[in-house]
Amino acid sequence: MHPTFKTTGFTLVEMVVVISIVGILAAGAALFIRNPTQSFIDGENRANLTDQADTALRRMARDIRNALPNSVRTATNGGDSFIEFVPVKSAGRYRASVGSSASDNPLDFSLSADTFDVLGPSVKVATGDKLVIYNLGIPGSDVYEGSDSRALLTTGTLNVLSFSGGVFPQASPSSRFFVVSTPVSYACDMTNHALLQYSGYAIQSAQPASVAALNALATARQLATNLTSCQINYVPGVLQRSGLVTIYLGFTQDVAKVTLMHQVNVVNSP
């Protein structure tokens, strides 16, 4: 007699049933896990966007607060928003009249070139810096048109300043002066969804009010991406002694959205 072998295994029907059951269980598990996982991803994206927006707004606010009085100007071009200002490098008070010493050297507003004493701490001057006195941001007293800025002739840490280039239009009631260099612009490039900073370009009489115009003047520094909305407004204060810059920035990554608003007080006392 020949031995009998019993063969065991799965039938095709059994395999199909098992595969179907496993598929159903996997689909149920995926639905159960998907929402918490997506919520975690959305939370991470929202945190990243908030950090990015907050960092950008703090950087802008710090720079804007250091703006030369009455030098802030804004523009809108389609969906793009722009803000430009001239940062103050150093400032002080000039000697307005002769004091008790025969060596006192006051600023003479009738001269197109002069030297004068700095009252208080000395100021730092670099090559290309300009001296600004009583900038009002109006025709005849506007740093952008050059009517109230003059070339400084000496560099270093100084307590006596020397300038040339013309008579200053008017004196400062508080005998204040400012040392400035080049403007800074922030641009919302909505085509590329980026917040950009520009610096190191020459002062322009008209504000560069497009990304293309700014790119022709300087190289952009990208501060933030994923930008989906942007609005920058500037309102001069009463008697132009103060102003208020309001910035709205909106960011989106996947389904996470963040919108921040920040207001910056600008001191405009020249």
Q: Which of 173-187, 216-230, 244-258 has the lowest mean pLDDT?
A: 244-258
Q: Which pLDDT tens digit goes with each residue over 129-160?
A: 999 999 999 999 999 999 999 999 999 999 99
Name the maximum alpha-carbon separation found in the chain. 139
Measured CA to CA in angstroms, residue 76 lies from 85, 138, 159, 190 at distances of: 15, 20, 42, 12
Residue with tokens 């020397």: 162
- Give the pLDDT score at 24: 75
- Give the pLDDT score at 10: 64
Q: Could you give the CA distance from residue 139 to residue 144 in angstroms, rounded to a whole number?
A: 10
Q: In 10 A of CB 73, how many CB atoms?
A: 18
Measured CA to CA in angstroms, residue 234 lies from 49, 91, 173, 244 at distances of: 25, 24, 25, 6
* Mean pLDDT over each residue of the chain, to the nearest integer: 88
Look at 52 and 71; give whichever has higher pLDDT.
71
Q: Which pLDDT tens digit goes with each residue over 5-57?
A: 555 666 777 677 777 777 776 766 666 666 666 565 656 766 777 788 888 89
Q: Could you give the CA distance from residue 114 to residue 177 in angstroms, rounded to a whole number?
A: 14
Domain boundaries, the chain: 47-86+183-267, 88-180
**Confidence label for 194 from pLDDT (cuts 50, 70 and 90):** very high
Range 67-84 average pLDDT: 95
